Structure 1
């Protein structure tokens, strides 16, 4: 296979069998699929044209994905970035032709996200020709995951699945489950950090939080709460243990949210279903903050979630298709 653009290679996932009933759906950068499909749809429908400018907020991964899509399709890209955007990401964005506007440094994730949204509204008021991608609220970001669902079904057939992964903006695991359910039964297990409003854990703070990308301090419109059967909340220490074990046991070098998903997937395995967990990015961003602290990892067999009680380091609840908590509704 020869790709026409680097975005195709970066977004194409690998299915890695870790055990007979446990698979890792590994991406180099998962949101490339979402951003590319969304931009294609906007161009096909005439919502934007080559040369137009798009804008969105990001803590890093989506920023690079959107910049790649704009590079491919001839659009201009402006990112209102989180305080957590690192130097390698900043350099990539610049060389891809995107502009980055970073928010002032803050340890308050809610303040950081709110500032970014407020700044985008200012930019739109100043230039109505800008198109806001709204990765958190526009369902066009689901479109890119149909091809992934088809790939998974082609490999595994109509077997019953348990799909495990970060909730994030709602488009990734939500989109995969949506398309996978067209051809077979799927039990959807969402992974969240403590402190996220999306499934009501905002009252529990994790002082070491580094996995904000799978949760949110503000409501997201793309999350289909009723699609989820189970929710796991993992703190930094539990996710660190998961991602270190994933590398040691299976040689998968992945990001921190992959460790949280691996931990939850091990817990959710059953003889009746094949369990697939999503690994959305590589571990390079976490070398110093996570992997250099590998001595702190706890053997996974020593960890178990609190059931139906939100408490560090790990909690689990049968969500059973319940609606969004009041604080998570994007009015």
Structure 2
């Protein structure tokens, strides 16, 4: 029996889609990260019950931190993006979270900069608040050790390709790190939206991009670039097509980053040697019903989609590009 709903919600489901293809499905992935980070802060004495934790979020992390604070008797203050929808906003209000949403912005960079600026203002007035810094503090890696252990026990022995949205870097980075510590041969494939600075696509915009959680307009220190073997840049149309096909073919109702990861995994699997492929479904599809799934008639046949292989970031283009990251990175730095 779980002592708190957060402990139940954090448990992922491993779904075998094909003999060598596994979906790591979360109800909301960042609960693992938030619980592990908050537990570490309490154990180390950095925070105490009754303290206030603050951070920025485009949605998933807001719910995760709110539940972690509820679990451990802490207050929670979220500076949220406009992507925090009514369903989540009402939950946060009932949980006692102080939620501020920044003004709507024309682009992701301005949205994230406004949120960080607002946090700085709040901390100036409330120096006792603890800023969680989900994008920069490595304590957000700790919670995923248990997930990596479950993966290692349940998937077949041998090489693994892990595919997921990069976002803050904690999920794919931590899972890869802990699986490698366990002796696994792990290849890591990161999924990015166009317009993200994390892997250099900021010069290619995607006006329809609503998968802000997997990209960034500011540098995230929790992204350890050397961990990633390949990167795929996927636009909204491809992510939508992947999400619709994921639901149609497997029954898994998951968000846009999950659809992008599924699409990417199928392509990688068709071109690599025998190994187990694990793709991350970070959240359910409920908050994307109006913005994405209601447009399912726009979804393309994913068998007709393929990425543009690049050797330089100057070659990035819609709707989907991919590269060996070590090669592009070396070229980028002139080595």
Q: TM over 0.5, yes or no? A: yes
Instruction: State the match for 1:293 in structure 2.
Output: 295
304, 307, 318: which is aligned to 1:305?
Answer: 307
304, 311, 320: which is aligned to 1:314?
Answer: 320
Instruction: State the match for 2:264 in structure 1.
Output: 264
SS in structure 2 of the partner of residue 320 of structure 1: helix
**Shift, 1:326, TM fit:** 8.8
2:202 is the counterpart of 1:202: yes
1:222-242 Cα offsets, whole Å, 9 max, x none, are 000000000000000000000
2:277 is the counterpart of 1:275: yes
- Structure 2 Cα separation of the partners of residues 187 and 137 of structure 1: 23
Instruction: State the match for 2:251 in structure 1.
Output: 251
- Structure 2 Cα separation of the partners of residues 53 and 326 of structure 1: 42
1:190-228 Cα offsets, whole Å, 9 max, x none, are 000000000000000111101111000111110000000
- Structure 1 Cα separation of the partners of residues 193 and 162 of structure 2: 18
Where structure 1 has 5 or more consecutive residues not aligned to the other structure, the ranges are none
- Structure 2 Cα separation of the partners of residues 225 and 322 of structure 1: 12
**Shift, 1:8, TM fit:** 1.2
- Structure 2 Cα separation of the partners of residues 99 and 239 of structure 1: 32
- RMSD over aligned CA atoms reads 1.5
1:10-55 Cα offsets, whole Å, 9 max, x none, are 1110110111111100000000000011000000000000000010
- Structure 2 Cα separation of the partners of residues 75 and 64 of structure 1: 14
Residues 156 and 276 in structure 2, CA contact (< 8 A), matched pair in contact too: no
- Structure 1 Cα separation of the partners of residues 156 and 294 of structure 2: 39
Residues 199 and 325 in structure 1, CA contact (< 8 A), matched pair in contact too: no
Residues 198 and 324 in structure 1, CA contact (< 8 A), matched pair in contact too: no
Residues 197 and 216 in structure 2, CA contact (< 8 A), matched pair in contact too: yes
Q: What does residue range 4-153 of structure 1 map to in structure 2 within 5 Å?
A: 4-153=3-152
Residues 34 and 68 in structure 2, CA contact (< 8 A), matched pair in contact too: yes
Count of aligned residue pairs for this structure pair: 326
SS in structure 1 of the partner of residue 232 of structure 2: strand
**Shift, 1:271, TM fit:** 3.8
- Structure 2 Cα separation of the partners of residues 76 and 8 of structure 1: 18
Name whichever of 7-16 and 155-164 sits farther off. Answer: 155-164
1:103-152 Cα offsets, whole Å, 9 max, x none, are 11223211110011011111111111010000000000000110000000
TM-score, normalised to structure 1's length? 0.96
- Structure 1 Cα separation of the partners of residues 291 and 332 of structure 2: 34
- Structure 2 Cα separation of the partners of residues 187 and 74 of structure 1: 39
Name whichever of 204-213 and 269-278 sits farther off. Answer: 269-278
- Structure 2 Cα separation of the partners of residues 41 and 324 of structure 1: 36
TM-score, normalised to structure 2's length? 0.95
- Structure 1 Cα separation of the partners of residues 47 and 124 of structure 2: 18
Instruction: State the match for 1:187 in structure 2.
Output: 187
**Shift, 1:83, TM fit:** 1.5
- Structure 1 Cα separation of the partners of residues 167 and 327 of structure 2: 17
Name whichever of 135-144 and 285-294 sits farther off. Answer: 285-294
Aligned CA distance change for structure 1 residues 108 and 19 (closer, same or farther; 3 Å)? same
SS in structure 1 of the partner of residue 278 of structure 2: strand
1:156-176 Cα offsets, whole Å, 9 max, x none, are 254210000000001011111
**Shift, 1:324, TM fit:** 9.9
- Structure 2 Cα separation of the partners of residues 157 and 19 of structure 1: 13
Instruction: State the match for 1:242 in structure 2.
Output: 242
Residues 188 and 230 in structure 1, CA contact (< 8 A), matched pair in contact too: yes
